[in-house]
Amino acid sequence: MTTRLPKLNGRRGGFIGEMIRWFIMVAIYDICIGGIASVLGVSRMVAVFIFLGILLAISAVGYVVRQKMAPSADD
């Protein structure tokens, strides 16, 4: 049995829609990384690692909160 993702509003984005979505995501990440680099005065490579660390910390906090709220969620 295969599971498929539901269609949103009865249609899919297609290739062009996915490209636009990808470019928007890259632009948002670039703004975040550029902002970190300019605020902290570090290179963009260091800002990328700081950004990834922030994302990792957010996901770790989310995991801990989920485990405390519903410990049987992963079963």
> Is pLDDT at 9 greater than 60 in this prediction?
no
> Is pLDDT at 73 greater than 80 in this prediction?
no
Sign of CA dihedral 45, 27, 23, 18: positive
- Calculate the dihedral angle through the C-alpha atoms of 36, 37, 40, 42, rounding to the nearest 10 degrees: 150
Residues linked to residue 8 through DSSP beta bridges, in sequence order? 11
pLDDT of amino acid 7: 56
Residue type, 53: G
- pLDDT for 14-65, tens place per residue? 888 888 988 999 999 999 999 999 999 999 999 999 999 999 999 999 999 9
pLDDT of amino acid 70: 82
More confident residue, 36 or 3: 36
